[in-house]
Structure 1
Amino acid sequence: MSRLLDDQENAHGSSLSSHPSLRDVHSINPAQLMARIESYESREKKGISDVRRTFCLFVTFDLLFITLLWIIELNVNGGIEKTLEKEVLQYDYHSSYFDIFLLAVFRFMILILAYALCRLQHWWAIAFTTAVTSAFLLAKVILSKLLTQGAFGYVLPIISFILAWIETWFLDFKVLPQEAEEGNRLLLVQDASERAALIHSGLPSDGQFYSPPESEAGSDEESEEKQDSEKPVV
């Protein structure tokens, strides 16, 4: 019987330890709860979380880095004006790097629109851009002649592919889980603040307790009580 009780106590303790955030939240006094709620509300007023802002900065870095590599490739192959005319105006799928630059612009526009302006809480936008990027780059490498045009034939497709998948990993494993955790924490804090407000409103205040004042020594009430006690009992 005692062993059964010990097992039940251990199971109850493990269930409590599995929810430390809820226990810690309910142990906070109302002033701390209000401070936490105000901090969460101030984060919401900023419009975008810190981890989402970091993701948007990385998406911008993706575009700028691919643009920089493309400009370097234009300079290496005979000057910007001449090579730009050849790759843009006389575009050839098998030899031009211009479509890889447009692919980076496509990723930037879709991801910034979805996760910065619309503040999307789902992974479908990043899955779409990564799938399009992967399919296009694989077809580009297989069908085109980029691998025969020097180092940039390897560098641009590989870096574009890697950056697209890093963005997917960062959003799926960092941005969305952390924002969901913060939302759940805010709900716990708000629930605890409501419970604390109900508890404090139900407690009696000091004005509800009343004790009659003590009678002064030698007062009329004390003399009457003394006279009554001195009367003989009939």
Structure 2
Amino acid sequence: MNHLPDDLDNALSGSQGSHASLLSVHSVHPGQLMARIESYEGREKKGISDVRRTFCLFVTFDLLFVTLLWIIELNVNGGIENTLEKEVMQYDYYSSYFDIFLLAVFRFKVLILAYAVCRLRHWWAVALTTAVTSAFLLAKVILSKLFSQGAFGYVLPIISFILAWIETWFLDFKVLPQEAEEETRRLLVQDASERAALIQPPGGLSDGQFYSPPESEAGSDEEF
């Protein structure tokens, strides 16, 4: 039997956010449903979804980009060795960019640990990193003397602030909703396959199941 029951049809049509993809399950053959389930299981074996992998790559880009800007700043202000010793060994909150680099390292470690290693499906980790980043940068911009040190006094805080909020937006509006939709679709397809397997005879339909008795002669007793 190629079509699924009406109750599954109503359940699929009532789901939100994935109407077009879910309605395609109505006319899918059970063999095709099993193929879809195997594809979903293959995705789970990969351990991490494509959209989550993209998020982790962006988190890595955040760290590398801030590190690159910090190295450029070290080289512009008198050489890497001298400026590095001044900003790290003689750290000053009001004039050093080293803490902005450490802030990028903090975001990278927390987000990769939460969403790549632990595969967290909640927004609290990215909310923590964004809140800490925003509070620290606002305080540093207000209290420090970065604006008197050239263009990097503007660039590094602004870039760090923007990247932190892009990570929050990307996780909250792309990663988590898409993964929830994929999980819902997988459960619906699996349920549809199980119901179709129960409805369809295990051995298929044979010729004997379509047997019809021979017609009796007109006027005979067998006609009754």
Counterpart-to-counterpart distance in 2, 1:140 and 1:28: 59
For residues 145 and 205 of structure 1, do their structure 2 counterparts lie closer, same or farther at Cα, with a shift above 3 Å needed? same
Q: Which amino acid aligns with 2:144?
A: S
- 1:100 aligns to what SS in structure 2? helix
Partner of residue 190, structure 1:
190
Identity percentage over the alignment?
A: 81
Counterpart-to-counterpart distance in 2, 1:99 and 1:186: 44
Q: CA deviation at 1:31?
A: 1.4
Counterpart-to-counterpart distance in 2, 1:183 and 1:213: 50
Partner of residue 76, structure 2:
76
Q: CA deviation at 1:203?
A: 8.7
Partner of residue 165, structure 2:
165
Aligned length: 201
Are 2:141 and 1:141 aligned?
yes
For residues 177 and 212 of structure 1, do their structure 2 counterparts lie closer, same or farther at Cα, with a shift above 3 Å needed? closer
Q: CA deviation at 1:202?
A: 7.5
Q: Which amino acid aligns with 1:89?
A: M
What does 1:171-210 align with in structure 2 at a 5 Å threshold? 171-201=171-201, 205-206=205-206, 209=209
1:100-150 per-residue CA deviation (whole Å, 9 max, x = no partner) reads 000000000000000000000000000000000000000000000001100
For residues 212 and 30 of structure 1, do their structure 2 counterparts lie closer, same or farther at Cα, with a shift above 3 Å needed? closer
Partner of residue 36, structure 1:
36
Are 2:45 and 1:61 aligned?
no
TM-score, with length taken from structure 2: 0.84
Unaligned runs of 5+ in 1: 1-11, 215-234
Counterpart-to-counterpart distance in 1, 2:54 and 2:212: 66
Q: Which has the larger radius of gyration?
A: 1
Partner of residue 101, structure 1:
101
Unaligned runs of 5+ in 2: 1-9, 215-224
- If each structure's helix is expressed as a fraction of its own residues, which one has the higher value? 1
Partner of residue 226, structure 1:
none
